[in-house]
Amino acid sequence: MKRTLLLIMCSLWLQACSTEKNGSIQEETAELKNKTTPSPEKKWDGTTLSTATIQKIQQNKYTYKQCIYKEAQKQGYRKIDARVATDAVIKQCEAELSTIRTIFKNEGVPDIIIDRFLKKTRVSLTRQILKSLMFAQAARQAGATQ
């Protein structure tokens, strides 16, 4: 009986000691996070883009899509693998995306948001073109088209 009582008291004491240490460690890590996190000088608000700017971006995105589609329809890409052709098509139209970047930059949009938008646009079109080129390649191999 005395042993179990002593064992319970020791375990409670150890638990109390560990929570005190964890509490101080959590306070120290919170202080370090506050010191290392840079405070933003100017916070960007997503609603600050004007309607004209959004229309410019949409127009340039449409131009980029048209460049991709026109480039993908060229006959030279039929002779190479669909993945290589997709990469070549995307690289040919990369200049169209740079105009979208400059529009965003002129409006003061942060780089991380610009990069995220451009990456999303690039990836979605890459998937669409790769899918269509792979379908065309499979159709040619099956003998459906020349």
Taking only the tens place, the pLDDT of each residue in 45-99 is 666 788 888 899 999 999 999 999 998 888 888 788 888 988 999 999 898 889 9
Has residue 104 been placed in a domain? Answer: yes
Q: How far is 20 from 29, CA to CA, in rounded Å? A: 14
Has residue 102 been placed in a domain? Answer: yes
Has residue 37 been placed in a domain? Answer: no
Has residue 71 been placed in a domain? Answer: yes
Which of 116, 107, 99 has its CA nearest to residue 44?
Answer: 107
**DSSP letter (8 states) at residue 146:** -
Has residue 38 been placed in a domain? Answer: no
Has residue 19 been placed in a domain? Answer: no
Has residue 79 been placed in a domain? Answer: yes
The pLDDT of residue 37 is above 50: no
Measured between alpha carbons, how far is residue 32 from residues 29, 35, 38 in Å?
5, 5, 12
Q: What is the pLDDT of residue 72?
A: 87
Q: How far is 93 from 125, CA to CA, in rounded Å? A: 11
Domain that holds residue 123: 48-142
Has residue 88 been placed in a domain? Answer: yes
Output 9 or 136, whichever has higher pLDDT.
136
Q: How many domains does the chain have?
A: 1
Max CA separation in the chain (angstroms): 92
Q: What is the pLDDT of residue 65?
A: 93
Tokens of residue 12, six digits:
């409670």
User: Over the stretch 111-142, which tens digit does the pLDDT of each residue have?
Assistant: 899 999 999 999 999 999 999 888 888 888 88
